Amino acid sequence: MNRFIQSILKTKTLFIFFSVLIIAFLADFTYLEYINTEEINSAYQHEKQVEQEAVVYNDYEDLMTDDFKDDLAEIDLDEVEDTETGSAYWDDIYFNITYVVVPLTAGCLAFCFLIFIGFRFTDAYSKISFGDLFKSILFAYLIFPLMDLLGSIWFGLIQTDYQIGDLRNVYGSLNPSVQSFIESPKEYQWYNYLLSDMNLQSLIFVLLIPLFLKGITGYKYTTLLKKMWIPFIGYFIIYYILSPYKDYLMLIFD
């Protein structure tokens, strides 16, 4: 087993990058196209809209006269033609590629750069190359598409009858906030807000990096982890800057 792991760690960085990119794209594409589909989201939005309209109707029903209701029923609305059908397929492909490529390349490279700069201030760890560090981060990044793969397997093979609420419940159970493992304080400090926003997936990601780097360089895991704590804080700052990017894509391609 050790030989197998060592052989993987010796793989060329560029090959690992494209492999992780393909895995992340396939996992994301499978989840968005076959699990968290447009039909599921449309049904959820329609249900919310019906509930809101029911509230509005009940509030104003007494104010509407029968004549006004008849006038509304006689209005014929022109059917809206869908002129974007031809480009919808390419929009989906462009969305999925951009949804994966930007966080992977920008996030991992920026995080790698922060750690690499931090290592320059120590004599022992200044010998660690940028390529070995980037390779370790790429291996650790696989924890993110793994979540989509687990969700796709669960809802694709086991719980095939589901709604948006089921997706959120399962993902909330698999990827809870780190603060949920700690007793809530009476008064929140700055680090409590950080732990509340930090999920289990991100925590595992940063803990895996020194583990893979240990396999490549031979340095002790605990020592590497201690040397990385300042870049870790920088990572979460970058993460919060980049995390809205996916929400913007959702609005653009909606």
Helices (H) and strands (E) in the chain, counts: 14, 0
Residues with Cβ within 8 Å of residue 11, at least 6 apart in sequence:
135
Q: What is the per-residue pLDDT across 139-161, written as a single tens digit (0 to 9) for each? A: 999 998 988 898 889 888 888 88
Q: Is residue 231 within 8 Å of residue 111, measured between CB atoms?
A: yes
How many folded domains does the chain comprise?
A: 1
pLDDT confidence of residue 137: 92
DSSP conformational letter for 77: P
Query: Is residue 87 one of the residues assigned to a domain?
Result: no
Instruction: Take residue 230 and report the two structure tokens written for it.
Output: 């300042």
Query: Is residue 80 one of the residues assigned to a domain?
Result: no
Query: Is residue 79 one of the residues assigned to a domain?
Result: no
By mean pLDDT, which of 3-7, 83-87, 200-204 is the weakest? Answer: 83-87
Q: Find the domain containing 133 and state its range.
A: 2-61+99-252
Query: Is residue 153 one of the residues assigned to a domain?
Result: yes
Report percent pLDDT > 70 for the chain: 69
**CA of 21: how far to CAs of 98, 114, 160, 211, 243, in Å?**
11, 21, 28, 21, 18
pTM: 0.74
User: In terms of residues, how long is the chain?
Assistant: 254
Q: Please indicate whether residue 57 or residue 97 has the higher confidence score (pLDDT).
A: 97
By mean pLDDT, which of 25-29, 70-74, 82-86, 189-193 is the weakest? Answer: 82-86
Instruction: Take residue 48 and report the two structure tokens written for it.
Output: 């919310």
Query: Is residue 178 one of the residues assigned to a domain?
Result: yes
Check pLDDT > 70 for residue 132: yes
Burial class from Cβ neighbours inside 10 Å (0-12, 13-18, 19+) for residue 90 reads exposed
Query: Is residue 92 one of the residues assigned to a domain?
Result: no
Instruction: Take residue 144 and report the two structure tokens written for it.
Output: 């993110």
Check pLDDT > 50 for residue 253: no
Q: What are phi and psi of 123, to 5 degrees?
A: -65, -45
Q: What is the per-residue pLDDT across 218-252, written as a single tens digit (0 to 9) for each? A: 889 998 988 888 777 776 766 666 665 555 544 54
pLDDT band per the 50, 70, 90 thresholds, residue 136: very high
Query: Is residue 218 one of the residues assigned to a domain?
Result: yes
Judged by DSSP in three states, 177 sits in strand
Query: Is residue 89 one of the residues assigned to a domain?
Result: no
Instruction: Take residue 154 and report the two structure tokens written for it.
Output: 């669960």
Q: How far apart are CA 177 and CA 200, in angstroms?
A: 6
Q: Is residue 149 within 8 Å of residue 27, measured between CB atoms?
A: yes
pLDDT confidence of residue 86: 47
